[in-house]
Amino acid sequence: MDPRIEASLEKIKAKHIIAICIGIFIILINVLFLLKTRWTYSLFIVGLAISGIPFFIDFLNENKRQKEIEVMFLEFSRALVESVKSGISIPQAIKIISKNDFGALSPYIKKLANQLEWGVSIKQAFTFFGHDTKNINIQRSVAIVIQAEESGGRMDEVLESVTTSVQSIKELRDERKSNAFSQTVQGYIVFYIFVIIMLMLQVKFLPKIQEMSSQVTGSGVGGLFSGGGGAPTNLNMKIILLELITVQGIFAGLMIGKFSEGKARYGIKHSVILVVSSLLIILTVSPP
């Protein structure tokens, strides 16, 4: 079996299975007893949402863990700089520092210290360290340290430069996030205004337009919802509006994540919230 598939299966726990079973149960009840009612699509979305909640929470927790790792790496770099400046070798400094608590980064630092103690080279140990964290900023910083170690540069100056660079990146991200908060709120407001407009179109205006079109068609004149020969076309405006809202919600969420946190993948949580909430509103409030 593919190692990636095995790794994915190992992450599935009891909470995931329970959520999937509850979601399937809701969908079955919906199909058996509430099919072709106004609640059909709403309960179908609720069932899918419940099935995906544990995976969604895992995704949020992983993003939170990655942010904590970046912050703790900054503290680790500072401690390492101070130790190296005092004349201690890098392996000894890491061994001493590994006894401190660095939160989510602690297991990786302890592993790094153990590898150096067992005789693994600094290059290999730091390469494994960057790979294990799965954090692109840490991997870049580690690459700089490895190059400096290979070229024989002063490690204290290199480590201090890396620390300054990581600190600058963190400050820029925090500043961008604080400045983008108002844009995030505006993004949500604009999207829900769009949902309200679509809902008003479906509930108030489209039925009247269809009624007028049928009257015009009955009199022998082609209308808005009629074909060229006067026959009505099979145009389901409800499905079209749902598709518009879904597409709008997905891309609005991704853009919010891109603007607020610098990466589109951080907008997945916004996309899920926007799409699920808007579909539930439309399918519950709009006529069947």
Give the chain's domain count: 2
Residue 146 lies in a domain: yes
Residues 180-218: pLDDT tens digits? 778 788 889 999 998 898 888 877 877 777 777 776 665
Residues 221-240: pLDDT tens digits? 455 444 444 444 455 677 78
Helices 40-85, 136-151: axis angle to 10 degrees equals 20
Arithmetic mean of pLDDT, 73-89? 84
Residue 21 lies in a domain: no
Domain limits at 141? 66-174
Residue 28 lies in a domain: no
Question: Do residue 186 and residue 274 come from a single domain?
Answer: yes
What sign has the CA pseudo-torsion 226, 227, 233, 237? negative
